[in-house]
């Protein structure tokens, strides 16, 4: 993780500093038209898998709105942020008085990013929106992502969304909209983004000087599933080694040696292993989901049902383990054992 920007992967750029958007041209054009019409929604739910550019799109749109506070005078398209603009510089530095970026805070004691966005963070949004803009400009809140709101924080955001102040705009990001409170979803205009094409993903990685090369270049683009963050985890965090070890264990024809299971669990639960642990959890869940889909397509309904239930259970167990800081090693071992038993 970046030391300057907690939560930002090595090799990545903070969305507020990103000057290019790869893919999502239709979504960006929709936002520009909607804003220019003067009838845009006060809260937009930007949906899609992690790492595909939701936050980058949100910051670009915020930059557009703050540069053109009168919708009727705004251009028809959203251009790349100008590095020389004071507004752009303030957004990139996290110093804008007109934008609040709500994300998981850093724990002052441990120095690590917390598991949830807390109600204390949401209270900052209430105070921020209550202040009068010195320039008469919009007040914009980016919630990144809303999936990380704990129950109290989600309820606090809901109250704000129910009675939004004038000239306020909420850009609510989500990796899994089905997990949000239905009442939050109902108060937002949904805008779904798709994973990046391999060409767009390759271009995005090239812009970060992280384009994969060699024999595994094509494998990275395929395995990343249209996500820049997944690609960076494969390239910079040993993702391929984790995937290989995982598959060796769960697909072994005979019971794998327990030392191999413990070795992988030790790596994933070591100190400062948040990124690889999250990568493993996502890969394990995706693996089970894909296995359930393949079983259903082949007509093995009982196996498909068993794997679908496991996929749902894994998500809940992993969320609980992360939220309550449970023993990661034991969580990993139990996940591996359950997947093997269900295949």
Angle, helix 198-207 to helix 228-236, in steps of 10 degrees: 60
Q: What are the beta bridge partners of residue 174?
A: 47
Q: What is the DSSP string of 136-190?
A: S--EEEEETTGGGB-HHHHHHHHHHHHSPPTTEEEEEEES-GGGS-HHHHHTSEE
Are 176 and 146 a contacting pair, CB within 8 Å? no
The residue to which tokens 């990796």 are assigned: 175
Rounded to an integer, what distance in angstroms lies between the CA atom of residue 141 and that of residue 99? 6
User: Would you state the structure tokens that stand for residue 69, as one six-digit string?
Assistant: 């506070």
| Per-residue pLDDT at 2 | 47
- 3-state SS class at 85: coil
The answer to whether the pTM exceeds 0.95 is no
Angle, helix 119-130 to helix 151-162, in steps of 10 degrees: 20
* One pLDDT digit (tens) per residue for the chain, 343 residues: 444 566 799 999 999 999 999 999 999 999 999 999 999 999 999 999 999 999 999 999 999 999 999 999 999 999 999 999 999 999 999 999 999 999 999 888 877 888 899 999 999 999 999 886 666 789 999 999 999 999 999 999 999 999 999 999 999 999 999 889 999 999 999 999 999 999 999 999 999 999 998 888 899 999 999 999 999 999 999 999 999 999 999 999 888 889 999 999 999 999 878 899 999 999 999 999 999 999 999 999 999 999 999 998 998 888 788 777 788 999 999 999 999 999 8
Q: What are the beta bridge partners of residue 173?
A: 46
Are 180 and 34 a contacting pair, CB within 8 Å? no
| Per-residue pLDDT at 1 | 47
C-alpha dihedral over 6, 23, 52, 28, to 10 degrees? 70
Rounded to an integer, what distance in angstroms lies between the CA atom of residue 111 and that of residue 106? 6
Q: What are the beta bridge partners of residue 280?
A: none
Q: What is the DSSP string of 276-329?
A: HHHHHHHHHHHHHHHHHHHHHHTT-HHHHHHHHHHHHHHHHHHHHHHHTT--HH
């Amino acid at each position: 993780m970046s030391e300057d920007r907690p939560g930002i992967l090595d090799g990545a750029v903070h969305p507020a500093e990103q000057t290019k958007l790869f893919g999502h041209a239709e979504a960006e054009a929709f936002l520009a038209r909607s804003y220019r019409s003067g009838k845009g929604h006060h809260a937009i739910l930007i949906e899609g898998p992690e790492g595909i550019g939701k936050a980058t799109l949100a910051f670009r749109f915020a930059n557009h709105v703050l540069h053109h506070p009168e919708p009727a005078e705004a251009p028809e398209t959203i251009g790349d942020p100008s590095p020389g603009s004071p507004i752009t510089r303030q957004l990139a530095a996290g110093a804008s008085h007109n934008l609040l970026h709500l994300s998981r805070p850093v724990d002052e004691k441990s120095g690590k990013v917390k598991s949830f966005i807390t109600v204390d963070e949401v209270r900052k949004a209430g105070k921020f929106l209550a202040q009068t803009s010195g320039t008469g400009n919009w007040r914009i809140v980016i919630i990144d992502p809303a999936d990380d709101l704990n129950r109290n924080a989600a309820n606090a955001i809901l109250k704000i969304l129910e009675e939004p102040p004038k000239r306020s705009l909420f850009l609510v990001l989500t990796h899994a909209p089905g997990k949000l409170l239905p009442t939050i979803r109902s108060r937002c205009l949904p805008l779904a983004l798709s994973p990046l094409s391999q060409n767009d993903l390759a271009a995005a990685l090239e812009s970060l000087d992280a384009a994969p090369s060699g024999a595994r270049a094509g494998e990275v683009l395929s395995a990343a599933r249209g996500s820049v963050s997944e690609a960076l985890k494969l390239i910079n965090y040993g993702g391929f080694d984790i995937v290989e070890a995982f598959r060796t264990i769960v697909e072994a024809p005979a019971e794998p040696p327990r030392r191999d299971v413990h070795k992988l669990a030790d790596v994933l639960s070591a100190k400062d292993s948040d990124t690889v642990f999250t990568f493993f959890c996502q890969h394990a869940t995706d693996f089970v989901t894909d296995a359930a889909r393949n079983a259903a397509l082949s007509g093995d309904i009982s196996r498909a049902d068993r794997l679908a239930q496991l996929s749902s259970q894994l998500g809940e167990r992993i969320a609980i383990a992360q939220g309550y800081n449970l023993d990661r090693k034991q969580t990993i071992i139990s996940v591996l054992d359950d997947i093997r038993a269900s295949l």
